[in-house]
Amino acid sequence: MNSPIISFILIAITCLAELINAETHTWWFNTTWVDANPDGVFERKMIGFNNSWPLPTLRVKKGDRVQIYLTNGFDDRNTSLHFHGLFQAGSNQMDGPEMVTQCPIAPGATMLYNFTVADQVGAYWYHSHTAGQYGDGMRGVFIIDDDDFPYEYDEEVVLTIGEHYHETADVLKPKFLSRFNPTGAEPIPQNLLFNESRNGTWHVEPNKTYLLRILNIGGFVSQYLWMEDHEFTIVEVDGVYVEQNTTDLLYLTVAQRYTVLVKTKDNTDRNYAFMSRVDIDMLDLIPDELELNGTNYIVYNQDKFDEERPEPYLLDSIDDYFDDFYLKPLSKDKLLDDADYTITIDVQMENLGDGINYAFFNNVTYIAPKVPTLFTALSAGEFATNEIVYGTNTNSFVLQKDDIVDIVLNNLDTGKHPFHLHGHIFQLIERHESIPDEEDPVRYNASDHAEWPEYPMARDTVYVQPQSYMIMRFKADNPGVWFFHCHIEWHLEQGLAIQLIEDPVALQNDPNQQINDNNKDLCAKLGLAWEGNAAANTENFLDLTGENVQFKNLPTGFTARGIVALVFSCVAGVLGLAAIAFYGMQDISDVEERVARDLDVDINDDEYAESDDLVRGSSSLAEHSSTQKN
């Protein structure tokens, strides 16, 4: 036999061996409320599985099949489960986001999430994709082990970080999405969590190399991490192996993962601090009682630790954190070819006529359609390639098979935002520096851009800087409906999302991608259709009458100023405490200052004083607007 044949046989045997080794993991989980005290200062209910919280770390191997039966054990709310970072190639309906790829799971109902982790490795996580539930604890780690891990280490350790609220999302959300919070100030967390707790202790042995998998499973703030006298050597980000790069200061937005090597000391003489810090630029207000730095411990010597804890280890500056743009994928995957299709999206936060602050891509705030978009794509026949059928408020873009796609994201907002694309990793090919609040936002200019890296960093979640832009590039090689959204849960609730409808014809022609009976039952339980356009019209896919749309715009002439005035009149008049709660327990004049600064209005100016008088005592926004006009 000649050698090509031999190598063919060898490859065939290897593939066969892998197939035979592929395991099926089956888990049954029931969502339940669990009494917990994660930060040690406040007892509350967290969302657990089977009366237990935190949720388990699920561990599988490359190529394995996963079957998770998720029962909605709540009696008053829907749920869903998303596996963050998994491509779900050929299994789009297992992706999780409600009204995108499935109907919500009604109380008492069960959904089987059944998929293989075909060709992925590394650190992922799972979380509810419904109404802020993951902030209430419905989140856990999902690891895909690799028999051919490219770096040497002695022991693997998982570490999650995140922020923590004392109130549940269903209490916070209505206060956040309220006309009494016209600037869209996000709720301020009470604490930072380290491994779902605080004051954590990481017990280590000397002379070892640890593989530390760090995951920010929070829903809002980014965090800095650093260790006293130890370093992080980054080897994987969001499931992508990278060339080693060592740093002493990491920055993780929510949903990002860093797998790092940490070498321990050669002796057990002392213990060290392991610090975390909230990115304060993301907070609209910093209450005195909020501990901005979390102190945790690397414990070599328990006796010493019992005697005395290491002091917090502070840095002079946290400006010099590791910029993931400079990482290089170990695969040496080159910059993809020039884009066949460019999606340009502008981010803005604005108020609509109901006085609520929403988030917009190109002036559209995402409102869920009446039929999950995947099911529209599957039922629309030849109309599936027509963006109209997906509705006017879903920000849907149809992508052609194997197109190279650029997402050019101009952030006209003064905040940082971590964006996540389902079903893909993307190359981050350009990211502009942040632009200070007092200057105008900078947009991407295609005829004047930076030089793009030869081997761009790739991952599934990246942040854009304030008033600045970034460009993400990927290949549309995974037929399906993929959500792209800000991973700050508050901003997703405000509508900061688009949908990519990738090669819907291939989707329709793939027998494995057809809606299964379980999914149809889930829709039926909630009285939802699993066919039709965004308005659930199955007769005429181009007729969107009755679709869900955003609230109408603020009437012309009614400015942010008017809203401020309205808020103050309410605060002063009715003592609507929601606004005060959001801006901290402060006196009212301070709240005024704060709102005014956010809205960029001068509270001493005459018009303001006037409008305050004008709106006092009235109750409807429309009324105020007509008064305001002149």
Ligand X SMILES: *[C@@H]1O[C@H](CO)[C@@H](O)[C@H](O)[C@H]1NC(C)=O
Task: Name the site residues for ligand X (rule: CB under 6 A).
Answer: 27-28, 30, 32, 39-41, 50, 67, 71, 73, 76-78, 104, 112, 114, 157-159, 195, 197-200, 202, 206-207, 243, 245, 266-268, 277, 292-293, 312, 314-315, 318, 322, 326-328, 346, 362-363, 445, 447-448, 526, 528
Tally of residues, the chain: 630
Residue from 58, 63, 61 nearest 27 by CA: 58
Q: What angle do CA 321, 156, 85 make, to 5 degrees?
A: 65
**Residue 274 or residue 490: which is nearer to Cu ion going by CB?**
490
**Residue 113 or residue 366: which is nearer to Cu ion going by CB?**
366
**Residue 120 or residue 569: which is nearer to ligand X going by CB?**
120
Label residue 285 left, alpha or beta by phi (over 0 means left) and psi (-120 to 50 means alpha): beta
Could you tell which of ligand X, Cu ion, none binds residue 548, using a CB distance below 5 to 8 A set by kind?
A: none
Residue pair 567/582 in contact (Cβ under 8 Å)? The answer is no
Measured CA to CA, the distance from residue 620 to residue 448 in angstroms comes to 48
Please pick, from the candidates 179, 491, 594, 624, the single residue that binds Cu ion as defined by CB under 5 A. Answer: 491
580 burial (CB, 10 Å; 0-12 / 13-18 / 19+) is middle
**Residue 139 or residue 417: which is nearer to Cu ion going by CB?**
417
Rounded least distance, CB 382 to ligand X, Å:
27
Helix (H, G, I), strand (E, B) or coil at 136: helix
Rounded least distance, CB 8 to ligand X, Å:
27
Residue pair 56/105 in contact (Cβ under 8 Å)? The answer is no
Measured CA to CA, the distance from residue 402 to residue 512 in angstroms comes to 20
One-character DSSP codes across 59-87: EEETT-EEEEEEE---SS--B--EEET--
Binding mask 411-450 for Cu ion (x = CB under 5 A): ------x---------------------------------
Asked whether the CA dihedral 611, 614, 620, 622 is positive or negative, the reply is negative
Could you tell which of Cu ion, ligand X, none binds residue 328, using a CB distance below 5 to 8 A set by kind?
A: ligand X
Could you tell which of Cu ion, ligand X, none binds residue 486, using a CB distance below 5 to 8 A set by kind?
A: Cu ion
Residue from 351, 342, 544, 542 nearest 446 by CA: 342
Binding mask 67-106 for Cu ion (x = CB under 5 A): ----------------------------------------
Rounded least distance, CB 614 to ligand X, Å:
26
Could you tell which of ligand X, Cu ion, none binds residue 178, using a CB distance below 5 to 8 A set by kind?
A: none
Rounded least distance, CB 389 to Cu ion, Å:
28
Measured CA to CA, the distance from residue 420 to residue 547 in angstroms comes to 26
Could you tell which of Cu ion, ligand X, none binds residue 267, using a CB distance below 5 to 8 A set by kind?
A: ligand X
Rounded least distance, CB 157 to ligand X, Å:
5
Could you tell which of ligand X, Cu ion, none binds residue 10, using a CB distance below 5 to 8 A set by kind?
A: none
**Residue 496 or residue 570: which is nearer to ligand X going by CB?**
496
Could you tell which of ligand X, Cu ion, none binds residue 187, using a CB distance below 5 to 8 A set by kind?
A: none
Measured CA to CA, the distance from residue 449 to residue 338 in angstroms comes to 14
Rounded least distance, CB 490 to Cu ion, Å:
8
Residue 509 belongs to what H/E stretch?
helix 504-509
Could you tell which of Cu ion, ligand X, none binds residue 266, using a CB distance below 5 to 8 A set by kind?
A: ligand X
Measured CA to CA, the distance from residue 579 to residue 586 in angstroms comes to 10
Rounded least distance, CB 553 to ligand X, Å:
9
Please pick, from the candidates 109, 327, 356, 488, the single residue that binds Cu ion as defined by CB under 5 A. Answer: 488
Amino acid at 87: F
Q: What angle do CA 97, 99, 100 make, to 5 degrees?
A: 60
> Is residue 486 a contact residue for Cu ion (CB under 5 A)?
yes
Rounded least distance, CB 109 to ligand X, Å:
10
Tokens 């009149």 locate to 569
Q: Which stretch binds Cu ion (CB under 5 A): 116-124, 290-298, 488-496, 518-526?
A: 488-496
Residue pair 135/219 in contact (Cβ under 8 Å)? The answer is yes
First to last CA, the chain: 91
Could you tell which of Cu ion, ligand X, none binds residue 422, using a CB distance below 5 to 8 A set by kind?
A: none
Residues touching Cu ion: how many (CB under 5 A)?
4
**Residue 220 or residue 390: which is nearer to Cu ion going by CB?**
220
Could you tell which of ligand X, Cu ion, none binds residue 581, using a CB distance below 5 to 8 A set by kind?
A: none
Helices 588-599 and 560-573 pack at an angle, to 10 degrees, of 170
**Residue 129 or residue 277: which is nearer to ligand X going by CB?**
277
- Alpha-carbon distance values, 82 to 142, 196, 381, 402 (Å): 11, 19, 27, 25
**Residue 179 or residue 491: which is nearer to Cu ion going by CB?**
491
Query: Which residue is nearest to ligand X, using beta carbons?
Result: 40
**Residue 74 or residue 426: which is nearer to ligand X going by CB?**
74
How many other C-beta atoms lie within 10 A of the C-beta of residue 117? 22
Rounded least distance, CB 78 to ligand X, Å:
4
Residue from 497, 476, 539 nearest 98 by CA: 497
Query: What tokens does 618 get?
Result: 């009235």
Interface residue list for Cu ion (CB under 5 A): 417, 486, 488, 491
